[in-house]
Structure 1
Amino acid sequence: MLSGLKSFLNLPGVSKFMVILYDALLGGLCMYLVIQWRYTFEDVPTPAGVAESATAVFIISCICAWILTDAHKAIWRFISLDDFKRLFQAVALSIIITPVILFFFFARAEGFPRLASFVVGPLFFFALVMSRVLVLFVQNGDIRAIFRGQNSNLPNAVLIGTQQSLHIYLRDASRKAAGPGYNIKGLIGTDADHRGRSIRGIPVLGNLDELSSVYSGLKNRYDRPPTLIATDVNPGRTKSYDLVRKASELGAPLVRVSQTRPDTLSPFEASDLIGRELRALDIEPVRRFIAGKRVMITGAGGTIGSEITRQVTAYMPERLILVDNSEYNLYEIDRELRSSTPDAHRNWFPFLANICDIPRMEEIFVAEKPEIIIHAAALKHVPLSEVNPIEALRTNIGGTRNILSLANKYKAESFTLISTDKAVRPTNIMGASKRIAEMLTMGQTGKSPKMSTCAVRFGNVLASTGSVVPLFEEQIAKGGPVTVTHKDVTRYFMTTEEAAALVLQAAALNSNQRPELGSIYVLEMGEPVKINKLARQLIRLRGLVPDRDIQIIYTGLRPGEKLTEELIYDEELLESTYVDGVLRFTGAMSAPEVTKGFIDTLLKYVVLRDRKEIKKSLAKLLPDYKPNGSLNQKQKPKDHAQPKPKSETI
């Protein structure tokens, strides 16, 4: 019954009628009480029918005045000064109408106290204001920010969001000295039909389905087209897609409330289209894990490595050891840290080094003795790895073995490998090499009783070097075409900041686990994103229309590429952790010595560059993996003796 009543009250027009009825009855009550008080005060009987007729007339006058002034359209919990002004006008109009009607139609208002209107007006207005302020206070807990101004020099805007997010934006904007920076001409609701109502004095013009007609009307009315402002901090992927598409079709400027700084606006970016909510992470365990420790980050200049470096810096390590094979990348992260850190607090050192160069890496371990190692160095580009398979194996497997061996030798406390979803049932050499690197990491447990080891597995990182989003943006900037491998291909995505934060969370989490247990941590990636749809939305973000302004070409899946990616094997039973967004698979590797022997044999043939034997070794480690690319090329006849493997490099 209650749900039925609620549904009835939510019907279009019903809530506004209830507001008019409540206000009119409240006005009638005020009129009746004032007349009764007037005659009681003079100890004179009230003339028959005077109070009743005046009350009835005043109720009718209020209904008319409310309709004429739109005083009933404000949503009480979002009331503003403009709404109070409209209420004052409606009360004043009712006070003027009532005596006129009584004079002409009720015996020249005989018996009606002449001062009644002057008493009823303030009393009625006070009662109206207090009832709305009470609702505002109970619903929002804040009655201060009810003022809003207009500046003809500011650009016009339309706000789009849920009623709560619209109110919060308007409330917070009114507290700024400069205001919101826009003249807000109307609101578009996304969660309920409040068309015809107002929030903080600004009219609700319709819902998202009516955006096109509303925007066209405003565009024709004003010299400059209004900007669309999305007020929801986390609108979700579907709603973001819909809004970006509509804005593109309208040619409307589109901005949004920033996720990290809600008091500012920012353009829609690719990260808004993956529909992931920012996670509220508990940083205290990470702070305890890192503070006062010597932390080594390999691949420190890469997309993930550099973000991990930034975040680790905030947790006050004793020493930060930055290792990278790219001179430019290392220079960039070093320059960034120098520009943001006072000289007295510079506690890092950039080491130009290749993780496959054992003497160089041991030199760094001897000098720095890292306690925590985050291993982000890798060759990760799938097509390049397919045409350079030996280099991918050498770096991703051999380099990982080197760092693990040195970490064990120099008694590091923690080792964390950054892996990938492509390591699950791999179909390309990059994924295969990362899967074997995971096996190396899991096999380390037991060998180093005081060192915790784990791997962290996640999907694609937005805007990372070589990823699809920067490629699409470059193609769009050049006018197209945008190349998509397959119209049905999907991928998991997360932002660089989130990926780095969750890696640190997993490393801190693993440090509290028994060292003899190896773990693979899987980061929750949400729903996979269709690459075709992502490409279309990126085109729309630039105010263009797919297939009209920018063509999309489907090129076909490349060697080793899947339609969909997976995050876990069937036999990996994940358990939740106390960190939101981090799941864990814990276990020991069966026959670790046998696996280690297979890996050593594989790396021996990597050094010899013997493709045939490499394929045989891969088949022993990953029976279901079928190599693609240049590993299938026939080797040239051996004109010279193969070089002997060198112990100092791999």
Structure 2
Amino acid sequence: MPLDRAALPVLSMPRAAKRLLVLTVDASLCVLTVWLAFYLRLGEFVALSGPALWAALASVAIALPIFIVFGLYRAIFRYAGWPALMTVSKAIAIYALIFSAIFTAMGVPGVPRTVGLIQPMLLLLTVGASRALARFWLGGLYQSQLKLAALPKVLIYGAGSSGRQLAAAMTNSLEMRVVGFLDDDERLHGHVLNGLRIYRPDDLAGLVESLSISDVLLALPSGNRQRRNEILASMRAAKVSVRTLPSVTELAQGRVSTSDLRPLDIDDLLGREPVAPNHILLGRNVSGKVVLVTGAGGSIGSELCRQVLKLAPRVLLLIEQSEFALYAIHRELAGKLVDSSIQLMPLLASVRDSARMQEIMRAWRPETVYHAAAYKHVPLVEHNPGEGLRNNVFGTLAAAQAAAVCGVADFVLISTDKAVRPTNVMGASKRLAEMVLQALAADGAKTRFSIVRFGNVLGSSGSVVPLFRQQIRDGGPITLTHPEITRYFMTIPEAAQLVIQAGAMGRGGDVFVLDMGEPVRIIDLARRIIELSGLSLRDEENPEGDIAIEVTGLRPGEKLYEELLIGDDPQPTSHPLIMKAREEYLPWCVLEQKLATLQRALDANDVGVLRQLLQQLVSGYCADEAIVDWVHLQNASAQ
């Protein structure tokens, strides 16, 4: 606003200058009110000369010392409310006694006696009005300037259209204050854009110190991941927190706001550039069809539901045994539903309940099933192996047999890289679930059974990324089981899209493997998350750092390295990120008998026999020597 812009120079003046300004204003008001008092008494304006000039000078000489004594100039903006008006009134009351005594009681030739009474009243009104104006015009702006100065100062990386829109959107932000731009274009360095200076990115470390910068906002929505990595590498030593805007596709509306900002997640640093999905494959088994997702409330299952909903199925069946998880995903999807013809059906069920699964499938006759229900936390399943096997193996068997009985066209199992030469029960159970589908497919089932195997997904339940972020918020340390532990990573949306596309390519018994990019050392991941939070690693080289990394040792069943293939020579498919593995399996007539034996061992909770059976069934399974099943250990200690 023009008034606000005019007030800023006043607020930026030194305190002594502000006091001098107010003294000048009050002196001018003394002269003005004497002149007005003459007009009110005589009915005409008189020149400020002779007796009128002497009256005006006398008013200034009497008023200003009194105002100074009463402290009207000690805190200009603080004395702008009712206490200030009372102080002004007291000061002018003393002034009125002296001024009226001289010009009314004693009298001065050429000055009407009533001027001595009129002028103090006018002075009270004008001085009081000036203080009220100061409160109205400057007081609120002054407080806002104080609040603005206290906000965290940030730089925007990128002086393009997105950067300019972001800076404009943050003009009145109550969270942070933009103080400049960083840009790679040397032609812009030193220039001012919308009142904000454009700096060289190489100067960031110095700017952090001189301008007290806390955050850098990346306004590069069209920049590729490699370019972002280069920028982040250049900022690592600056100790600033980094936030970013979504990609161009997420900003299709053409406007940028502060709500679009998000913390720069680790998925911006990992893997390859996203490959555009094949929309024919995406829609083949979903669009206009009845689709069922088991484990719909889990991290993978819920993202599958989101992606499926975008592809406009006729009916989406949400199967979940957790009441709260089912409520949460159903509520979220219902809020996103724009096509009222799509039916969302939240169904409480356990995939281990064969009768319930058949009942559901007979009622809706789904054409595609995505089986994401599983226990997947390695240490928890290692301590509860029986439940892991019941859910992951026999739950998969129950769901698959129900699908075959009810004429489901496509059944897709979500598997894991931990199924390859597993060292834990969770991985062994998932490999056994894969073998169940391979055997059923080879046994002549009309349902096309497919398996999609991939590694860790960022942000899933049990993922290290949210755990590390929480540990950083708590002040550390970040806990790491081994300094050499390595994992594959992929974002949840990308994994879900690839699962849908891979399932559409299934012919029966296929094991699809997703290209996860290069494996990542978890300790490097932890270091990057610390740096992206604007903090430093505390170690022997930097004992004054913010967050330490503590190595706790490998947990039961945990591997240092994960693999995606059991055999060799994976076959390419029509999608560049999806391969087809060649994996051996047992014929259904043999596997069925082995599963019956496994079921009897489960019923007896004989953990030793369970481990022996898994070693016979699952190629490469090598269990830890110690049994860590909690129930087994408790029973052993009680004997």
Q: Provide the TM-score with structure 1 as the length reference.
A: 0.65
Whether contact under 8 Å (1:462, 1:469) holds in the other structure is yes
How far has the Cα of 1:544 moved from its partner? 2.1
Match of 2:10?
none
Alignment match of 1:256 (pick from 244, 251, 254): 244
Whether contact under 8 Å (1:598, 1:620) holds in the other structure is no
How far has the Cα of 1:337 moved from its partner? 2.0
Deviation digits for residues 137-189 of structure 1 (CA, Å, limit 9, x no counterpart): xxxxxxxxxxxxxxx999976554xxxxx5xx614556899589687845343
Alignment match of 1:399 (pick from 374, 395, 399): 395
Write the letter of the residue equivalent to 1:256.
T
Percent identity (aligned): 39
Alignment match of 2:571 (pick from 566, 570, 575): 575
Match of 1:8?
none
Task: Give yes or no for the alignment of 1:234 onto 2:229.
Answer: no
Q: After the TM superposition, which of the residue ranges 435-444 and 610-619 deviates more from structure 2?
A: 610-619
Distance 2:166 2:383 in 1: 57
Deviation digits for residues 213-244 of structure 1 (CA, Å, limit 9, x no counterpart): 35545x27xxx777453526333385365256
Match of 1:96?
none
Partner SS, residue 432 of structure 2: helix
Distance 1:415 1:528 in 2: 29
Partner SS, residue 561 of structure 1: coil
How far has the Cα of 1:477 moved from its partner? 1.6
Larger Rg: 2
Q: Within 5 Å, which residues of 2 pair with 1:29-178?
A: 158=155, 160=157, 166=158, 170-171=160-161, 178=168
Match of 1:213?
206
Partner SS, residue 580 of structure 2: strand
Partner SS, residue 452 of structure 2: strand
Partner SS, residue 400 of structure 1: helix
Whether contact under 8 Å (2:215, 2:242) holds in the other structure is no
Deviation digits for residues 564-587 of structure 1 (CA, Å, limit 9, x no counterpart): 111112x24212222231111257
Q: Within 5 Å, which residues of 2 pair with 1:410-559?
A: 410-510=406-506, 513=507, 515=508, 518-547=509-538, 548-559=545-556
Deviation digits for residues 479-503 of structure 1 (CA, Å, limit 9, x no counterpart): 1221111111111111111111111
Distance 1:225 1:605 in 2: 59
Distance 1:308 1:339 in 2: 16
Whether contact under 8 Å (2:282, 2:504) holds in the other structure is yes
Whether contact under 8 Å (2:242, 2:534) holds in the other structure is no
Task: Give yes or no for the alignment of 1:280 onto 2:270.
Answer: no
Write the letter of the residue equivalent to 2:446.
K
Closer/same/farther in 2, CA of residues 561 and 290 from structure 1, 3 Å limit: same
How far has the Cα of 1:623 moved from its partner? 5.0
Write the letter of the residue equivalent to 1:319.
V
Whether contact under 8 Å (2:537, 2:547) holds in the other structure is yes
Match of 1:58?
none
Whether contact under 8 Å (2:443, 2:587) holds in the other structure is no
Deviation digits for residues 235-263 of structure 1 (CA, Å, limit 9, x no counterpart): 3385365256334x2xx353223225355
Deviation digits for residues 388-411 of structure 1 (CA, Å, limit 9, x no counterpart): 001001110000111111111111
Task: Give yes or no for the alignment of 1:187 onto 2:182.
Answer: yes
Unaligned runs of 5+ in 2: 1-147, 172-176, 539-544
Write the letter of the residue equivalent to 1:630.
V
Partner SS, residue 445 of structure 1: helix
Distance 1:540 1:442 in 2: 45
Partner SS, residue 609 of structure 2: helix
Distance 1:537 1:176 in 2: 26
Partner SS, residue 480 of structure 1: coil
Write the letter of the residue equivalent to 1:567.
L
Match of 1:50?
none
Write the letter of the residue equivalent to 1:234.
N
Closer/same/farther in 2, CA of residues 486 and 616 from structure 1, 3 Å limit: closer
Alignment match of 2:404 (pick from 398, 403, 408): 408
Whether contact under 8 Å (1:173, 1:179) holds in the other structure is no
Closer/same/farther in 2, CA of residues 241 and 339 from structure 1, 3 Å limit: same
Distance 2:178 2:473 in 1: 31
How far has the Cα of 1:267 moved from its partner? 2.4
Match of 1:84?
none
Whether contact under 8 Å (1:174, 1:180) holds in the other structure is no
Closer/same/farther in 2, CA of residues 197 and 443 from structure 1, 3 Å limit: farther
Distance 1:214 1:473 in 2: 27
Whether contact under 8 Å (1:233, 1:257) holds in the other structure is no
Closer/same/farther in 2, CA of residues 604 and 370 from structure 1, 3 Å limit: farther
Partner SS, residue 450 of structure 2: strand
Write the letter of the residue equivalent to 1:187.
L
Closer/same/farther in 2, CA of residues 635 and 257 from structure 1, 3 Å limit: closer
Whether contact under 8 Å (2:180, 2:199) holds in the other structure is no
Match of 1:267?
263
Partner SS, residue 505 of structure 2: helix
Partner SS, residue 551 of structure 1: strand
Q: After the TM superposition, which of the residue ranges 387-396 and 439-448 deviates more from structure 2?
A: 439-448
Distance 1:193 1:489 in 2: 42
Distance 1:394 1:256 in 2: 43
Partner SS, residue 250 of structure 2: coil
Whether contact under 8 Å (1:615, 1:631) holds in the other structure is no
Match of 2:80?
none
Distance 1:427 1:207 in 2: 47
Whether contact under 8 Å (2:282, 2:497) holds in the other structure is no
Distance 1:588 1:627 in 2: 20
Write the letter of the residue equivalent to 1:607.
D
Deviation digits for residues 453-511 of structure 1 (CA, Å, limit 9, x no counterpart): 1111111111111221121122222212211111111111111111111111111122x
Distance 1:587 1:225 in 2: 52
Alignment match of 1:340 (pick from 336, 340, 348): 336
Whether contact under 8 Å (1:294, 1:369) holds in the other structure is yes
Closer/same/farther in 2, CA of residues 496 and 225 from structure 1, 3 Å limit: closer
Closer/same/farther in 2, CA of residues 244 and 574 from structure 1, 3 Å limit: farther
Closer/same/farther in 2, CA of residues 241 and 159 from structure 1, 3 Å limit: closer
Whether contact under 8 Å (1:522, 1:583) holds in the other structure is yes
Unaligned runs of 5+ in 1: 1-151, 161-165, 640-650
Closer/same/farther in 2, CA of residues 255 and 549 from structure 1, 3 Å limit: same
- Figure out how many residues of one structure are paired with residues of the other and give that number: 464
Distance 2:629 2:601 in 1: 12
Q: CA RMSD in A?
A: 3.4
Partner SS, residue 443 of structure 2: coil
Distance 1:483 1:635 in 2: 28
Whether contact under 8 Å (1:408, 1:448) holds in the other structure is no
Match of 1:630?
628
Closer/same/farther in 2, CA of residues 241 and 393 from structure 1, 3 Å limit: farther
